[in-house]
């Protein structure tokens, strides 16, 4: 049995564009002599469609799109494709299509409602665990979350004799998730003695990135095929269902269990007769480093945000620091150097080294640059506020004025030329509120908002590695971080060193550990209490920040939802 996993990049709401991609992939799968073609979860609508699902017209168009696709699927080819079914309520569904008609509609049973997921808002849970019977092979069907549970439809199908467990998925990326997903799928395959085949979505959707990384595991839990990560791909693999039987004959454990219910068997009429085929070349794409996959996720997320929303050109401030350098590198890789403009906005506090580094970076990446000094505007603001601030010392107010002037300049360029402003703050800064509202936090998209500072350095070094030369200057990588908003300013004037700060933030934000637990891990209690307080107080700032790409296990926004008005605090202890 030859399967083709059509790992395509869909667009939410673009029903007919998505159907067009499905059609193109089907044609390539037919050319590859595939018997079975799988598409990702909610292929027809794109994932996640969110409140578009409240519109009856959208549901109807999605059903019409599925019907249109079904008509072109020839006899002898079976397709599994995600869509939204309407049957008294909405279901996240997988359609089984062959010979021009829809043979079966499987309704997803396990609806995730944690992290970035909100499927209980839209869908009703399904039931059953159908298996397709095609040419003597039993293929169990499930959708995304269904395979993540040790029980559920996959177990029922395996106990009933499924040779192949097929899962169509829209599993969003965060760093190292692909490796975790592979471990889980390998365990499912070896536990159930079946092939496990997963077709995953690829592409960017607002803050989410889907990494593709479709895979095939044999009945012993060994990886036999892996698609590309962060790229569209058609992964073709030959399965030998008899291997599933052999594995079960040597592993008596499943005989001790009985399925909770007898799965429905859906016969596929006119399956292709077994013939002589040249063996599909096994393909296991290499798995990148953590820094490599984060870089690829950022590039894909930014590229798709621009492409799918009809934006063409980006503008960002170039300070000569590490954050704006990485944001610029990602923008150039995603959009092309001809579509990225860097703006130098020096002040009296900007060091000559920072200006030199910003110019060198722009030259290395072939970016257009503009220079707009902020000194005249800063002087004008100070003069306007002189009487109001009379007798008061300069403080963070004057620092933030500079940041807001820069934000105004970038937004003016955006308005005048139609460019989208990329903000360049990282997760560490966003966590503790080390940013200025309507200043450095202003923008249409936040490229590295979910990248902690220490990871910013590691990914920046990865940029230089993959480019094969020093695109981000060594002086940028080596200099001490500074906002340069006052004389001799350093980030460590306000924060612990990032080597201390980032692990505390990860423990508190991503792992929900309390102060006592973090202190018990070896961190200074005063540092922990201060950082936790900064995180809690900055929630109102984060709510006003632009969207950006999720790359960690728990990002701000739809992933971590904390009330702004909130009197609970461990700091009182």
Whether 259 is covered by a domain: the verdict is yes
What CATH number is given to the structural domain containing 71? 3.60.110.10
**What's the token pair of residue 419?**
């460019």
Active-site residue, from 21, 94, 108, 199: 108
Whether 313 is covered by a domain: the verdict is yes
- CA–CA distance, 469 with 473 (Å, rounded to integer): 10
State yes or no: pLDDT of 16 exceeds 80: yes
- CA–CA distance, 187 with 223 (Å, rounded to integer): 11
State yes or no: pLDDT of 572 exceeds 60: no
Active-site residue, from 21, 41, 429, 484: 41
Q: Is 41 assigned a catalytic role?
A: yes
Q: ∠ at Cα 557 (506, 229), nearest 5°? A: 75
Residues 263, 320: one domain? no
Of 199, 232, 267, at which residue does a domain stop? 267
pLDDT, residue 301, reads 97
Residues 18, 156: one domain? yes
- The mean predicted confidence, pLDDT, of the chain is 92
Least confident among 124-138, 250-264, 270-284, 366-380: 250-264
How far, rounded to the nearest angstrom, does the alpha carbon of residue 93 sit from its chain's CA centroid?
Answer: 22
How many independent structural domains does the chain possess? Answer: 2
- Tokens 């279901």 label which residue? 91
- CA–CA distance, 364 with 373 (Å, rounded to integer): 22
Residue 449 contacts residue 423 (beta carbons within 8 Å) = yes
Residues 355, 397: one domain? yes
Residues 374, 316: one domain? yes
Q: What's the pLDDT band for 380 if we cut at 50, 70, 90?
A: very high
Residues 223, 326: one domain? no
| Phi, psi angle pair for 363, to nearest 5° | -65, -40
Residues 73, 137: one domain? yes
Residues 335, 234: one domain? no
Active-site residue, from 21, 79, 94, 144: 144
- CA–CA distance, 203 with 230 (Å, rounded to integer): 7
Q: Is the dihedral of CA 210, 213, 216, 222 positive or negative?
A: negative
Residue 541 contacts residue 442 (beta carbons within 8 Å) = no
pLDDT digits (tens, 9 = 90+) for 49-93: 999 999 999 999 999 999 999 999 999 899 999 999 999 999 999
- CA–CA distance, 444 with 441 (Å, rounded to integer): 10
- CA–CA distance, 122 with 57 (Å, rounded to integer): 15
Least confident among 238-252, 357-371, 423-437: 238-252
Q: Which domain holds residue 348?
A: 290-490+538-562
Whether the full predicted model's pTM is greater than 0.85, yes or no, is yes
Whether 155 is covered by a domain: the verdict is yes
Whether 100 is covered by a domain: the verdict is yes
Whether 384 is covered by a domain: the verdict is yes
CB hemisphere CA count around 123 (13 angstroms):
23
Whether 307 is covered by a domain: the verdict is yes
State yes or no: pLDDT of 44 exceeds 60: yes
Contacts of 543 (CB under 8 A, 6+ apart): 564
Residues 379, 433: one domain? yes
- DSSP letters, 257-314, are ---SSPPPEEE-SSPPPP---PPPPP-BPPPPPHHHHHHHHHHHHHHHHHHHHT---E
pLDDT digits (tens, 9 = 90+) for 174-214: 999 999 999 999 999 999 999 999 999 999 999 999 999 99
Strand partners, 422: 445
State yes or no: pLDDT of 275 exceeds 60: no
Q: ∠ at Cα 126 (125, 131), nearest 5°? A: 150
Q: What share of the chain is helix, strand, coil (3-state, %, to 5)?
A: 40, 20, 40
pLDDT digits (tens, 9 = 90+) for 406-462: 999 999 999 999 999 999 999 999 999 988 889 888 999 999 999 999 999 999 999
pLDDT, residue 489, reads 74
How far, rounded to the nearest angstrom, does the alpha carbon of residue 209 sit from its chain's CA centroid?
Answer: 2
Residues 262, 294: one domain? no
Residues 303, 337: one domain? yes
Q: What's the pLDDT band for 282 if we cut at 50, 70, 90?
A: confident
Whether 439 is covered by a domain: the verdict is yes
Whether 478 is covered by a domain: the verdict is yes
- DSSP letters, 371-432, are E---HHHHHHHHHHTTTTTTTPPP-HHHHHHHHHHHHHHHHHHHHHH-PEEEE---HHHHHH
Residues 457, 368: one domain? yes
Cis peptide bond N-terminal to 431, omega within 30? no
Residues 15, 155: one domain? yes
What CATH number is given to the structural domain containing 400? 3.40.50.620
483 or 290, which is more confident? Answer: 290
pLDDT digits (tens, 9 = 90+) for 94-110: 999 999 999 999 999 99
């Amino acid at each position: 049995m030859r399967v083709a996993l059509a790992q395509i990049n869909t667009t939410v709401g673009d029903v007919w564009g998505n159907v067009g991609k499905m059609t193109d992939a089907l044609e390539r799968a037919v050319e590859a002599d595939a018997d079975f073609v799988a598409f990702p979860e909610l292929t027809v609508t794109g994932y996640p469609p969110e409140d578009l699902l409240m519109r009856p017209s959208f549901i109807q168009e999605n059903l019409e799109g599925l019907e249109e696709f079904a008509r072109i699927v020839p006899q002898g080819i079976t397709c599994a494709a995600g869509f939204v079914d309407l049957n008294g309520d909405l279901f996240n569904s997988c359609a089984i299509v062959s010979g021009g008609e829809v043979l079966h509609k499987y309704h997803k049973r396990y609806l995730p409602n944690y992290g970035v997921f909100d499927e209980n808002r839209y869908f009703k849970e399904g039931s059953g665990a159908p298996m397709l019977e095609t040419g003597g092979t039993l293929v169990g069907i499930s959708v995304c979350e269904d395979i993540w549970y040790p029980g559920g439809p996959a177990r029922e199908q395996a106990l009933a004799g499924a040779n192949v467990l097929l899962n169509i998925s829209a599993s969003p990326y965060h760093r190292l998730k692909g490796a975790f997903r592979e471990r889980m799928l390998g365990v499912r395959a070896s536990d159930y003695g079946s092939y496990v085949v997963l077709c995953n979505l690829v592409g960017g959707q607002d803050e989410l990135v889907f990494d593709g990384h479709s895979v095939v595991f044999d009945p012993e839990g060994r990886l036999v095929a892996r698609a590309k990560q962060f790229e569209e791909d058609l992964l073709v693999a030959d399965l030998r269902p008899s291997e599933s039987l052999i594995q079960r004959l040597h592993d008596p454990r499943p005989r001790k269990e009985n399925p909770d219910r007898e799965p429905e068997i859906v016969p596929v009429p006119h399956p292709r007769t077994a013939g002589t085929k040249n063996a599909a070349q096994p393909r296991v794409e290499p798995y990148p480093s953590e820094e490599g996959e984060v870089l690829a996720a950022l590039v894909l997320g930014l590229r798709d945000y621009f492409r799918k929303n009809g934006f063409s050109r980006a503008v960002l401030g170039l300070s000569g620091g590490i954050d704006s350098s990485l944001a610029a590198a990602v923008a150039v890789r995603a959009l092309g150097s001809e579509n990225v403009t860097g703006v130098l906005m020096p002040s009296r506090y900007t060091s000559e080294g920072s200006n030199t580094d910003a110019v060198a970076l722009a030259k290395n990446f072939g970016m257009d640059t503009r220079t707009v000094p902020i000194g005249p505007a800063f002087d004008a603001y100070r003069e306007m506020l002189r009487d109001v601030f009379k007798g008061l010392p300069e403080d963070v107010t004057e620092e933030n004025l500079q940041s807001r002037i820069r934000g105004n300049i970038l937004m003016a360029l955006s308005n005048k030329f139609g460019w989208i402003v990329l903000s360049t703050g990282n997760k560490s800064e966003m966590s503790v509120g080390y940013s200025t509202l309507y200043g450095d936090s202003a923008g249409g998209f936040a490229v590295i908002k979910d990248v902690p500072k220490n990871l910013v350095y590691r990914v920046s070094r990865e940029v230089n590695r993959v480019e094969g030369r020093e695109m981000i200057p060594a002086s940028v990588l080596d200099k001490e971080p500074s906002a340069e908003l006052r004389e001799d300013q350093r980030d460590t004037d306000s924060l612990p060193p990032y080597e201390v700060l980032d692990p505390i933030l990860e423990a508190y934000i991503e792992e929900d550990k309390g102060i006592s637990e973090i202190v018990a891990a070896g961190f200074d209690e005063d540092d922990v209490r201060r950082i936790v307080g900064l995180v809690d107080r900055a929630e109102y700032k984060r709510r006003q920040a632009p969207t950006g790409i999720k790359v960690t296990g728990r990002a701000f926004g739809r992933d971590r939802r904390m009330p702004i008005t909130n009197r609970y605090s461990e700091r009182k202890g």
